[in-house]
Structure 1
Amino acid sequence: MQELKSVYSKEELLNNAVELLKKLIEIPSFSKDEFNTSVEIEGFFARHHIPTKRFKNNIWAVNKNFDVFKPSILLNTHHDTVKPNKAYTMDPFVPVEKDGKLFGLGSNDAGASLVSMAQVFLHFYEQENLAYNLVIALTAEEEISGFDGIEALYPQLPNVELAIVGEPTQMNLAIAEKGLLVIDGEMKGTASHAAHPNPDNSIVKCMKDLQQILDFRFPKVSEYLGEVKITLSGIHAGVQHNVVPESCSFTLDVRVTDEYSNREAFEIIQSRMESALTARSFRLNSSKISMDHPFVQAGLEIGRTTYGSPTSSDQAIIPCTSVKLGPGDSTRSHTADEFVFIDEIAEGIDIYIRILEKVLYSTEQKLPEPQSGI
């Protein structure tokens, strides 16, 4: 491995990261309304003399010595946030640094990953003779799995062989991720007055139908992700106490493992239910990366662990080999008074760099060939 020379010290990279994260926290960036944070991100790179490209609210750049004949490694995370919940006791848009923590909406999910990746990109930006190009894409609409985020941008990116998706994983490698399948269902019955017998009560029929599918276990169990999980997340029927409604509607949240495609999971569920079912989308499938992949092996060599992630991310719509890795803790995401530890950001920058050094400067291992695009 060649000796690495960087124009930035560890302290400078951390200070840059914290300063940028504070600025991003101050700017509301709900999904589909991320223009102002995209401008702040452009400004950050401009101040460091790095040209960027824009597609909608997605900002991306390539390393200074980009070589069209080399494959690329993509650093990707998002700058949109969910809306703050009502349990906040602090102003979600005022960054507060206290007791080693930085509080603010989006600080953990996924601001810490974004600012860490930005520093890692600075670190490698001017390096020569890399085995792979380095591309960074800071994108929109992840929280709603929107169509104008990484999915829209990806076809413009150059020859990506591996995507590192920044989400809070405590800097351990999520080598598999469950897919998301949302199903709307409806059970039909016969409307009637509540005072009269009705053997065709839509609510009663629906309850029986739901109970049996919630008790069902998919036969194949994933090595890394366990079982497919079906959750009843919504139900609605009736508006008057004395009227039996003609239908009962519901929503199922299905977290699908790598053992099934979303369409396969839907067909199995449909075959076991009497209710009429409609899938909102089949696009957010499960993903996984081989334990033998050079990036995974590089992470293991420096003491990181691997696991299967139950939460979904933009991995589901990135059509190449990917791994989820970032500072912060997923259990803090979308919670009131969200925060990230400053030390987690420092660790994130350090671990990203250490793993990437093993791959970017490797002359022995090559990443697998890229998969087809969207």
Structure 2
Amino acid sequence: MKNQETLAQEAVTLLKNLIETPSFSSEEDQTALLIEKWFIQNVIPFKRDNNNVWAFNKYFDKTKPTLLLNSHHDTVRPNQAYTKDPFKANVEDDKLFGLGSNDAGGCLVSLLATFAHFYTNENLPYNLVVVASAEEESSGKKGLNSVLQNLPELECAIIGEPTLMQLAIAEKGLLVLDVKIKGTPSHAAHQNEDNCIYKTIPVIEWLKNYSYDKISEQLGPVKMTVTQINAGKQHNVVPSECNLVVDIRVNDCYTNQEILQIIKENVAAEVTPRSMNLSASSIPESHGLVQAGIALGRTTYGSPTLSDQSVLSCKSLKLGPGDTLRSHSANEFIYINEIKEGIDLYIKILTDFFKNN
């Protein structure tokens, strides 16, 4: 078994290669090949479906529960504010720059190193499966959700996202709604009591002002935001419909179905969800993974950002090196030391968790 220093060095090398290989969501085939090569170099058998790559610990035992280690290798597209080459892995003052370095390349390579550390252990109380997933940034159909059918039932999971290695024990879900308000089209010069744009005003007011009763201890209240509005093409024509897009961040007190039903009962409009699958997630503070992190001085919090946790039905903890505030920013970076610390903390948390289970 390689020592942690060697694992960390190889993790940084892999991350540099990933940065220099474009991997926009649904276009991750080349980074999937890099991850395959890493598994081959570490003599670890792996499987691949589309651009998802995964592997099981050497002594997998179907009678034991299974713990998932997951992070993604796709990225968003670089924004126009970049002053550095987003596909050049430059290191300056311990900062490794490049697109995907922080979100979530540093997490991914740290989890792969952690998996390698435990891979040959014969006496683990849990099976381990590590998944380098695709299409996380776009919530695509060929991401982690498509891999789950190939995995055994999962008891719990660690999802690698930049949390400064603090413990995100809850995560808001996402519900995006298309809202259509219909009216009667007419010439603007004529009286029209059924103007769809005017009928949209009370709908927007309700969406703006409604407060859900249940407030989560970790995630706070449900947040609804109207993010798009579209109606009409000519100045002298009252259109037949006005369309809104509503972004809803759902706490762990409600299901997406419950939120949808409340909205349908309160607005005079056609309401159509784009997806019902991106649910809120959480793990009890009493869970062994969380307690192992707390024992190492980590703090708990609720995360407002979405991850692949949303497609899991098991208990899951979001945890990883890097800072969420750097994600999707110009000149994205992660500290080399954060990766080394991440590997060390992942290993310590899992070692303590296994010891007590």
**Shorter-chain TM band:** over 0.9
Give CA deviations for 1:80-109 in whole Å, capped at 9, x if unaligned: 111112222222111111122111111111
**Residue 328 of structure 2: which of 321, 334, 349 is its match?**
334
- Report if aligned partners of 2:207, 2:226 keep a CA contact under 8 Å in 1: no
Pairing 1:112–2:93 present: no
Report the count of equivalent residues: 357
SS at structure 2 position matched to 1:142: coil
The TM-score, its normalising length taken from structure 2, stands at 0.96
| 2-structure distance, mates of 1:246, 1:66 | 60
Q: Does 1:139 align with 2:147?
A: no
**CA displacement 1:218-259 (0-9 Å, x = unmatched):** 011111111000011111112222222221101000011111
The match for 1:40 among 34, 54, 58 is 34
CA distance in 1, matches of 2:28, 2:60: 28
* Number of the residue aligned with 1:149: 143
Opposite residue 83 of structure 1, the aligned amino acid is: R
Matched to 1:340, the amino acid is I
Segment drifting more, 253-262 vs 203-212: 203-212
**Does the alignment pair 1:95 with 2:89?**
yes
CA distance in 2, matches of 1:190, 1:156: 51
- Corresponding residue SS for 2:137: helix
Aligned pair 1:30/2:24, yes or no? yes
Q: Residue 75 of structure 1 contacts residue 137 of structure 1 at CA under 8 Å; is this kept in 2?
A: yes
1:317 Cα offset (Å): 0.7
What's 1:79 paired with?
A: 73
- 3-state SS of paired residue (1:84): coil
- AA of the residue aligned to 1:106: G
More displaced 10-residue stretch of structure 1: 187-196 or 257-266: 187-196
Q: Distance in 2 between matches of 1:52 and 1:322?
A: 23
Tell me, yes or no, if structure 1 residue 260 matches structure 2 residue 263: no
**TM-score, normalized by length of structure 1?**
0.92
How many angstroms does 1:196 deviate by? 3.9
Matched, 1:175 2:201: no
What's the CA shift for 1:192?
2.7
Whether the 8 Å CA contact 2:207–2:225 is kept in 1: the answer is no
Aligned partners of 1:183 and 1:85: how far apart in 2?
Answer: 26
Describe the SS at the equivalent of 1:180.
strand
User: Which of 202, 213, 220 is the matching residue for 1:219?
Assistant: 213
Unaligned runs of 5+ in 1: 1-6, 366-374
Candidates 293, 303, 315, aligned match of 2:297: 303
Instruction: Tell me the secondary structure at the aligned position of residue 346 of structure 1.
Output: helix
The one-letter code of the counterpart of 2:177 is: I
Instruction: Give the Cα separation in 1 of the matches to 2:110 and 2:82.
Output: 26
Please say if 1:322 is aligned against 2:316: yes
The secondary structure found in structure 1 opposite 2:25 is coil
Report sequence identity in percent. 54
Residue 200 (structure 1) shift: 2.4
Q: What SS is found at the alignment partner of 2:130?
A: strand
CA distance in 2, matches of 1:87, 1:275: 39
Partners of 1:65 and 1:262 in 2: CA distance: 39
